[in-house]
């Protein structure tokens, strides 16, 4: 079942449970058939980039001098936080394809704030590039880790008081991100109930504990209008430290598993064969998940580019 690519305001307003989540914009008309010369030059260029980037040290050098189109840098992970770049870029692209003018991006677990500052900087570039507004929120208790609840919180590794935050120092550095301070099991329901935030497109989970991550995942249990049909998610604590011995019964993996067990049509899943679809391998490929809301009114909107290159399979 494929619906029209242009999304009506009505569809999204209905999805939002009656509240308007922004004006849907007209999706660009598909471009005319690509000229074969252009296609040839592009293919040649891509092959060259692939070859050069495979030379040892080339990608590190590229990261130090991040030149070239943003889409290409996303493809090659040219960023200090390639997972944030990938998630923000793909979320904003999806919003654009669905005709939505803005998205929210969230970091759960801020601590000193290095991740949130990186998210702000990357979101700024993605937003300018794609013309989609990105509103950023950082959730944290503000006083370091709370006490672990039980063994699922990986208490053999993390403990109360780790990773304290200097709120004033961080606020002085933040440009436009909003800090949501407090225990996530209290702040997340409040955020969903009161916020006029645009639909959530990307979430970075870095709360370490099972209990905190399970509470944070509630942010994806809101009405359809509060998130994209597919929301990109990054989970920081699926590997390291080795002594954690991560598995599906503790920590973030257990929170994902329980969330999926509790919902029939809401699922948080890895992207199958993600690494294989990229030009290089990296651990974060296995930390990138996507939240699916299968009953979201925009889930089946067809987002395949309408060019012959994508839609024809000639002899």
Residue 88 sits in the site that holds ligand SAM (CB under 6 A): no
Parallel/antiparallel/unpaired status of strands 102-108 and 133-140 = parallel
Residue 139 and residue 180 in contact, taking contact as beta carbons nearer than 8 Å? yes
Residue 30 sits in the site that holds ligand SAM (CB under 6 A): no
Give the count of beta carbons closer than 10 Å to the beta carbon of residue 216: 24
Q: Helix H segments across 159-266?
A: 167-173, 184-194, 210-216, 251-262
CA torsion 181→185→186→190, rounded to 10°? 90
Residue 170 or 301 having the CB closest to ligand SAM: 170
CB of 112 to ligand SAM, least distance (A): 6
Residue 47 sits in the site that holds ligand SAM (CB under 6 A): no
CB of 154 to ligand SAM, least distance (A): 12
CB of 242 to ligand SAM, least distance (A): 17
Residue 209 sits in the site that holds ligand SAM (CB under 6 A): yes
Residue 123 sits in the site that holds ligand SAM (CB under 6 A): no
Residue nearest ligand SAM, CB atom distance: 115
Residue 58 or 286 having the CB closest to ligand SAM: 286
Look at residues 196, 200, 226, 238 and name the one whose alpha carbon lies nearest to residue 103. 200
Question: Which residues sit opposite 136 in a β-bridge?
Answer: 105
Residue 165 sits in the site that holds ligand SAM (CB under 6 A): yes
- Where along the sequence are the contacts to ligand SAM (CB under 6 A)? 107, 109-112, 114-115, 140-141, 144-146, 163, 165, 183-184, 206-209, 212
């Amino acid at each position: 079942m494929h619906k029209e690519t242009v999304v009506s305001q009505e569809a999204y307003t209905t999805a939002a449970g009656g509240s308007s989540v922004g004006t849907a914009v007209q999706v660009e008309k598909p471009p005319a058939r690509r000229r074969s010369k252009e296609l040839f030059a592009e293919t040649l260029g891509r092959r060259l980039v692939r070859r050069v980037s495979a030379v040892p040290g080339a990608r590190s050098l590229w990261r130090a001098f991040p030149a070239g189109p943003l889409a290409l840098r996303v493809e090659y992970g040219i960023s200090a936080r390639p997972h944030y770049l990938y998630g923000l870029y793909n979320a904003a692209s999806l919003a654009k394809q669905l005709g939505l003018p803005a998205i929210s991006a969230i970091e759960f677990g801020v601590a000193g704030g290095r991740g949130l500052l990186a998210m702000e900087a990357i979101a700024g570039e993605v937003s300018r590039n794609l013309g989609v507004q990105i509103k950023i929120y950082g959730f944290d208790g503000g006083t370091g880790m709370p006490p672990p609840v039980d063994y699922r919180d990986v208490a053999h590794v993390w403990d109360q008081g780790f990773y304290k935050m200097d709120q004033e120092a961080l606020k002085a550095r933040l440009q436009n991100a909003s800090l949501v301070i407090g225990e996530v099991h209290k702040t997340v329901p409040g955020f969903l109930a009161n916020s006029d935030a645009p639909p959530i497109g990307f979430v970075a989970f870095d709360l370490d504990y099972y209990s905190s991550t399970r509470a944070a995942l509630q942010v994806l249990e809101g009405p359809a209008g509060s998130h994209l049909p597919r929301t990109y998610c990054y989970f920081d604590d699926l590997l390291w430290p080795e002594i954690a011995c991560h598995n599906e019964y503790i920590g973030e993996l257990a929170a994902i598993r329980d969330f999926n067990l509790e919902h029939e049509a809401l699922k948080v899943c890895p992207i199958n064969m993600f690494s294989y679809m990229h030009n290089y391998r990296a651990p974060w490929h296995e930390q990138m998940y996507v939240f699916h809301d299968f009953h979201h009114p925009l889930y089946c909107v067809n987002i395949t580019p309408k060019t012959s290159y994508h839609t024809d399979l000639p002899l």
